[in-house]
Structures are given as structure tokens and as C-alpha cells.
Amino acid sequence: MRNFLYRGVSASLHEKLCGVLEPKERAAFAREPNWDRASWNDSTWGESEQNGVVEHQLEQAGFPTSGISTTPNLQRAIFYATSGGSLSSGYVYVIDRDRLAEHHIRTYIVNELLGAPSVPEDDEVILVASDFGALPASVVVEVRIVAT
């Protein structure tokens, strides 16, 4: 049995990015703690990848990082692809976890790293490419159109 992660996106984002899983920013994932965004129990002093995880998922505010949010839960990916059912359709990217290491893609399992993740039911796994850019197309094994 294969080990997959899923990334749900709206049809408009899928079209805008031409099907490429591109992060919001191309910069080191490690962050200095930002006092407006730091989480008392989860942030660290100084620059760290832990602070990058905190900022990436914080309150689902969409702060730009080089991370790409995924989930091992297909239903949660469909939820995001359709904006909780408010959109009639969206796309779910199926990512083969077994291919991540060969491309030096770092994984950050939010529920294991943070005591108070913003959305624990997502079981979010943040993926960061070695060059902090787009994920290689070869890690995506399928792109599904989903509808409500």
C-alpha cells in the first residue's frame, strides 16, 4: 500500500499556478520569532525551522513561507479544494511520500512539532523543497478533479 499526501487547491489557484505546487515565497523556511505571530509554547528563540512551522500554519492566515501544506487525509484535501463546499469543484494533488526523500524534500509534521496547531484535524504535513521553490512534478502521482 502506497503512502500518500494530498494537497487540495481551488480551480482558480490550480489554473494560476499551471498545476505547479509552488510555495508563496522562495526563501529559507527557518524564521526568527515574530512577536505578533509567535506562539508562546511552540516558538523558539532565534532563527529556527520550528518558527517556520509556527508561522506557516498560524491561524490559517496564509503568511508566506517556502512550505506547501498537505494532509494524509483525502477528505481534508477535498475540503480545502472546494473551500469547505462553497466552491463546486477543485483539484487534489496526490503526492507519493516515498518519492520525497530522493528529491531532498523536507517534511514537517505539524501535530508532532506543535502543542497547539491551528487545525489539528488536518494532520498537516508541510513540504519544503531543497531550493525552497516548487515541488518537482515527479512527486505528484495524480491530480484529481473533485466536486461537491
**pLDDT tens-place string over residues 20-29:** 999 999 999 8
What is the tally of helices (H) and strands (E) in the chain? Answer: 4, 6
Angle CA 99–20–75, to nearest 5: 70
Residues whose CB falls within 8 Å of the CB of residue 16, separated by 6 or more in sequence, listed in order: none
- pTM above the 0.75 mark? yes
The overall longest dimension of the chain from CA atoms, in Å, is 44
Instruction: State residue 2's pLDDT score.
Output: 65
Q: Which residue has the cell 483539484?
A: 91
Strand 106-109 and strand 4-10: pairing? unpaired
